[in-house]
Amino acid sequence: MHVILLGSAAGGGVPQWNCGCANCRAARERGAGRTQSSVAVSADGERWLLLNASPDLRHQINAHRALWPRASRASPVRAVVCTDGEIDHTLGLMLLRESASRVPVYAPAAVVSLLGAEWPLIRVLASYTGVEPRELPDGRPTALADSAGAPLGITCTAVALARRPPRYARAAAPAVFDVALRLVDDRSGGVLAYAPTAAAVDGAVASVARAADLLLFDGTFWSDGELRAAGVDAPAAREMGHLPVGGPGGGLDALPRLGAKRTVLVHVNNTNPMLGEDSAERRQVEAAGLEVGDDGMEFEL
């Protein structure tokens, strides 16, 4: 399985348009930013799946030859899997509106319903070529397929994570609004575990990460009070559904025990001090045997 980390940043990216923090200033000065959270996956190197559709999708496709169209209106992007209905993971669906055929979008049932109602992407896109929502059942392996039903050679199991509905749908009835994914290459047996938003390293995360070749995990915040310390009027990281990387009981404590061969932190917020390559936090990540994800990282599983 070929895996490209298209975007390693959380919502807002790095630099974020309205942020002048040290990380955002450094990214502007160096001209080296990070785009918003998304991953591309392919079993055959020809037909690709997007894991989440970022607002930076157009730039991300342009940055990777493997995702360039082979002919007029012939994109190698064959389907999208959404782990949640957050804006930073779904807005990119709008950018696929020129598609020549309906784009299959796999997502948990409650997310499909959000995208038809509170955040009506599916309804709006219906006036263009449209997307074809396909519900991911909880815990049952699904063979992913393109719009014509041809298998893509990857089997996906979605496992429910405990997180609140997105901010735009706080009143929604309780349901599964976030999942972690376990993607298996049917031929090589390579396993990718993907959990870009997770409030805990719990049984659900352990089940997708078990013996995985690669775990891409939530690295949004270093500490619980990080956003507030940066002057943003916001809840703590855990309240937002993001397990902090550092501190007691944080990701650095729990992730190495899961047994994934390689663990890379993704969905990193622009306030996270581990973005600094010479920071003490970056050294702690490396000492724990983990890595900070970067745009364009590629993996073969």
User: Is 107 a binder of Zn ion (CB under 5 A)?
Assistant: no
Q: Binding residue for ligand MLT (CB under 6 A) from 86, 185, 213, 295?
A: 86
- Site residues for ligand MLT, window 249-288 (CB under 6 A)? none
User: Is 88 a binder of Mn ion (CB under 5 A)?
Assistant: yes
Residue 240 binding target from ligand MLT, Zn ion, Mn ion, none, CB below 5 to 8 Å by type? ligand MLT
- Site residues for ligand MLT, window 130-189 (CB under 6 A)? 167
- SS3 (DSSP) at 46: coil
Alpha-carbon distance 91 to 188, whole Å? 32
How many residues can be counted in the chain? Answer: 301
User: Is 87 a binder of ligand MLT (CB under 6 A)?
Assistant: yes
Nearest approach, Cβ of residue 27 and Zn ion (Å): 8
Six token digits for residue 197 = 């938003």
User: Is 8 a binder of ligand MLT (CB under 6 A)?
Assistant: no
Q: Binding residue for ligand MLT (CB under 6 A) from 38, 197, 263, 272?
A: 197
Torsion, Cα 218 241 36 233, to 10 degrees, reads: -130
Alpha-carbon distance 265 to 218, whole Å? 6
- SS3 (DSSP) at 248: coil
What is the Rg, in whole angstroms, of the alpha carbon atoms belonging to the chain?
18
Are 210 and 195 in contact by the 8 Å Cβ rule? The answer is no
Alpha-carbon distance 226 to 229, whole Å? 5
- Site residues for Zn ion, window 239-278 (CB under 5 A)? 270
Q: Which distant-in-sequence residues (6+ apart) come within 8 Å of 294 by Cβ?
A: 5, 8, 34
How many residues bind Zn ion, per CB under 5 A? Answer: 4
Place of tokens 């940066």: 230
Show the site string, 11-40: x = touches Zn ion by CB under 5 A, - = not: --------x-x--x----------------
Nearest approach, Cβ of residue 15 and ligand MLT (Å): 16
User: Is 226 a binder of ligand MLT (CB under 6 A)?
Assistant: no
Q: Binding residue for ligand MLT (CB under 6 A) from 4, 5, 10, 41?
A: 10
Which residues would be at the binding site for ligand MLT (CB under 6 A)? 10-11, 86-88, 167, 197, 240-241
